[in-house]
Amino acid sequence: MCHTLDPNDARIFSGRSHPALAASIAEYLSVPLEQTLCRHFSNDNLYVQLGASVRGRAVYIIQSLAPPVSEHLFELFMMLDAARGAAAREIHAIIPYFSYARSDKKDAPRIPITARLVADLLQTSGMTHIMTMTLHSPQVHGFFSVPCDPLTARALIATHLRQYDFSSGDTMVVAPDFGRAGSAERLAAQLGLPVASADKTRISDTEVRISTSIDRQVQGYRRVITYDDEIATGGSTFELSQRLIASGVQEITVVCTHGLFTGNAMDRLAQIPQIREIITTDTVPIPPEKRLPKVTVLSVASTFGEAIWCNSSRQSIGSLFAFGEAHC
């Protein structure tokens, strides 16, 4: 069900990373998507101007940190600062994909915790509230000293998956690593399915190793639903799929929230015959050439729209959180 924001009080703007999603969110809330002017000067400096008055209003700026990430991030900083300088009452950063959540700890000498740095810079730019979806690491939520709403697409995914017949008892949900085990367990609970977790060791940004411990867990199951927060190079999903196939699994449904599918990741996965469907969302734009017959893209516009409306009308959005179970 769609809701309406007061168009005299709320302003919605979009950066250049994902205007289609921003337009869908604005449509869900029955308010116009205001114009944003972004261009480069001859010296490559970025110019940003918000195309409508924001004085005394609640401002929602939608920008996903999709490639080119640095360009989109700096554009977001400037939009936030523009809203603050123009006396906006509230400034909400709606970041469907917060890519720097992967940089959440210091696991090597002399490296930054970039997720915390970006959180600080967003707040310095003027953000008073952030909404995002499926953070790679839950602890990133704590890097923000302003209210942070980490949402989930799990309800959308579960609704889509219920088209499958699970009555035969031969389907299991599998997390690619222990870090995603909790999310996989919550999805499995919604579907009434058993759950298992693979043991993954990351060798490099593009190479992983899946241990044989998953073999025993999936023994006797014909179909597996793999559930991850994001797929970039596809290395983890490819190796896990090969491990599952070697263990006797005949059908795999690949599910992720953030479908980056960099390089040839999509083609690589689509060529595995046992992968029957690849389900992702539109937190990042999925270009037409990557929307192969096996690919299903679910829109998160209604989830963000509902969360924005609940927030503006002072209603709880706990049921939309990554750890919630029901609906708002």
Rounded to whole angstroms, the Cα distance separating 76 from 46 reads: 11
Active-site residue, 200 included: yes
> Where does residue 108 rank: exposed (0-12), middle (13-18), buried (19+ CB within 10 A)?
exposed
What string of H, E and C letters represents the secondary structure of 61-93? Answer: EECCCCCCHHHHHHHHHHHHHHHHHCCCCEEEE
Residues 6+ apart with CB under 8 A from 267: 292
Per DSSP bridges, beta strands 208-210 and 200-202 are antiparallel
Rounded to whole angstroms, the Cα distance separating 298 from 22 reads: 15
Place of tokens 């996965």: 269
Give the active site residue among 106, 200, 290, 294. Answer: 200
Residues known to be catalytic: 200
